[in-house]
Amino acid sequence: MEVGFVGLDRWNFDSEIIGCAGTALGFVDLHNSCDIMRVEFGLGLSVPSLFLHFETIAARERFALAFREVSTMEASQKDASPDDGQVFHGLDYWYDIERDTALFRVDLEMMELRFAAREVAFVV
C-alpha cells in the first residue's frame, strides 16, 4: 500500500523523523523549533484521523500533521510528570509487508502512539 503525502515531501522509511520538508512553511523542525499543542483523534469524521497540532516557537505559526484512514491504534503512557509538558521526540515510519500497510510510531514525552495510516497531510 502506497502512503499519500499531501503538503509535504515524502518521508524515508526506517528513519527517525523530526522535521517536514516541502511544506507551505518551508522546512519545519518539529523537535527543536516547535511546541506540540495537542493530539486529537478524529473518530467521528468520514475517515478515522489523528491530528498532531504544533506551533512554531519563533513565529507562532500553527499547523497540524493529519494522519488519515488511521487503523490499529495503540497508545502507551510513559513515566513522565504532566509538569514536563508534551515534547515531540520523533516519528518512525516503516512498511509492514505481512499486513501490506505503512506503520507509524509517534514518540512524545508522555506517550507513544503506534498506528497504520494511508495518508499524511501538512495542514496550515
Q: What is the pLDDT of residue 85?
A: 62
d(CA 35, CA 31): 8
Over residues 43-50, the mean pLDDT reads 84
Say what percent of the chain tops pLDDT 70. Answer: 94
d(CA 90, CA 30): 8
How many beta carbons lie within 10 A of that of residue 6, not counting itself?
11
CB 116 within 8 A of CB 4: no
Which residue from 72, 74, 77, 73 is spatially nearest to 111, judged by alpha carbons? 77
What is residue 61's three-state secondary structure?
coil
Q: What is the pLDDT of residue 83?
A: 65
CB 50 within 8 A of CB 71: no
How many beta carbons lie within 10 A of that of residue 100, not counting itself?
9
CB 21 within 8 A of CB 7: no
* pLDDT band at residue 73 under the 50/70/90 scheme: very high
CB 6 within 8 A of CB 69: no
Specify the pTM: 0.92
What residue segments make up the domains of the chain, in order of their start?
4-123
Mean of pLDDT over the chain: 91
Range scoring the smallest mean pLDDT among 7-11, 28-32, 46-50, 64-68 = 46-50
